[in-house]
Amino acid sequence: MAGAKRGCLFVVTLVVVLAAVVAGAGAWFFYQQTQFADARITPSAGSVVIASGDGMNTVLRKLRDAGVDEGQDTQWQLLARQLDAAGKLKVGEYALSGDLTPRELLLRMRAGKVLQHRVTIVEGWNIRQLRAALKRAEPLLHTTDNLDDAALMQRLGFGGQHPEGRFLPETYVYQRGDSDLDVLKRAHAAMEKALDEAWESRAPDLPINTPYELLTMASIIEKETALASERPQIAGVFMRRLKIGMRLQTDPTVIYGIGAAYDGNIRRRDLTTDTPYNTYTRAGLTPTPIAMPSRDALMAAAQPLSGDALYFVAVGDGSGAHVFSPSLDQHNAAVARYLQQLRQQRTKETPAQ
């Protein structure tokens, strides 16, 4: 009987010991898995791309190729199952950084929080500058590089439409796999919406007959000043000139007419050489916009500031501000002050002999 009791005690002790070992092993494994899941990764690449059909093994290989050495493959696979991410990783490009943990990365991949890229259309750019910027943008797919402007507008679904001024200056977010055409479609739609809003809010009795004329005027305003606060004033000057049949006489339109031949200097002969865009030789608006106007410029064209000024000239102090004058005599005096300011500035910049 005593022997039986000793045998039973041994079995119980063995079971307890084995249970303790198993529990200890489980706790150790849980600790190791948690440490792995919440440790920061140290990638050598900035992103990883999951393609259609990629399984967890393929994703792991891509992560290893990207320099993610943390964890055993079995730990990644177990974590993916724990997070309900196994078989549910979304196609796309994902950012890799030292701020990420394996847990955070797999959750991003499960949710499809792909890497976002940005391209900015700058206020006042013309169509050549816009297309050059898209050509430089990476990893944007370049599908329009070999198209001329007419073919480009045809591809966008607006055949026969002049491209100048038709794309709203903003920062556009895209992801790997998007094309330049995708960005342009969004920018075109954004401009149409902004133009419609400006047209609907326009002041009464404007000497503007169509939304396209408003777009054209806004583009001229955009190029005349970098100060948003001055745009309604400049719009007021141009609107009053249109009402009385006075020529706009604005240099940016002349520069646009010169085109790619413009070398940074505008000369007297440029002001007297007639082109469809020379507002010194031709009355009224230019035949098309001359740049991509901002929302501010569109609203300035729609709601110009009232007043009596018909002229403006730069102050010349580097601020970009202008002096507005109602009469030619006052304007000429402002021009004289501007020229004097320029001469003084040049004297300061010229080293003593």
Residue 139, preceding bond cis, omega within 30 degrees?
Answer: yes
Exposed/middle/buried for 67, CB within 10 Å: 0-12, 13-18, 19+? middle
Inter-residue contact 267 to 273 (CB < 8 Å): no
Write down the residue that tokens 């507008």 correspond to. 153
Predicted TM-score of the model (pTM)? 0.84
| Integer CA distances (angstroms), 250 to 33, 48, 257, 349, in order | 70, 51, 12, 29
Beta bridge partners of 69: none
| Integer CA distances (angstroms), 217 to 81, 157, 292, in order | 60, 25, 11
Which uninterrupted H or E stretch holds 325? strand 322-325
pLDDT tens figures, 134-150: 999 999 999 999 999 99
- Mean pLDDT taken over the chain: 90
Distance CA 95, CA 103 (A): 14
Helix (H, G, I), strand (E, B) or coil at 164: coil
| Integer CA distances (angstroms), 180 to 200, 333, 350, in order | 30, 49, 47
Inter-residue contact 225 to 320 (CB < 8 Å): yes
Antiparallel, parallel or unpaired: β 92-95 and 117-120: unpaired
Write down the residue that tokens 């006075």 correspond to. 246
Distance CA 307, CA 239 (A): 11
pLDDT tens figures, 148-161: 999 999 999 999 99
Inter-helix orientation angle 180-200/295-302, to 10° = 20
Task: Using alpha carbons only, give the angle 290, 296, 302 rounded to the nearest 5 degrees.
Answer: 80
- Kindly write down the DSSP assignment for every residue of 176-237, as one continuous string: TT-BHHHHHHHHHHHHHHHHHHHHHTPPTT-S--SHHHHHHHHHHHHHH-S-GGGHHHHHHH
Return per-residue pLDDT of the chain as tens, 353 residues: 555 555 555 555 555 555 555 555 555 656 787 889 999 999 999 999 999 999 999 999 999 999 999 999 999 999 999 999 988 999 999 999 878 999 999 999 999 999 999 999 999 999 999 999 999 999 999 999 999 999 999 999 999 999 999 999 999 999 999 999 999 999 999 999 999 999 999 999 999 999 999 999 999 999 998 888 999 999 999 999 999 999 999 999 999 999 988 988 889 999 999 999 999 999 999 999 999 999 999 999 999 999 999 999 988 777 888 999 999 999 999 888 888 877 777 777 665 54
Inter-residue contact 79 to 33 (CB < 8 Å): yes
Beta bridge partners of 322: 314
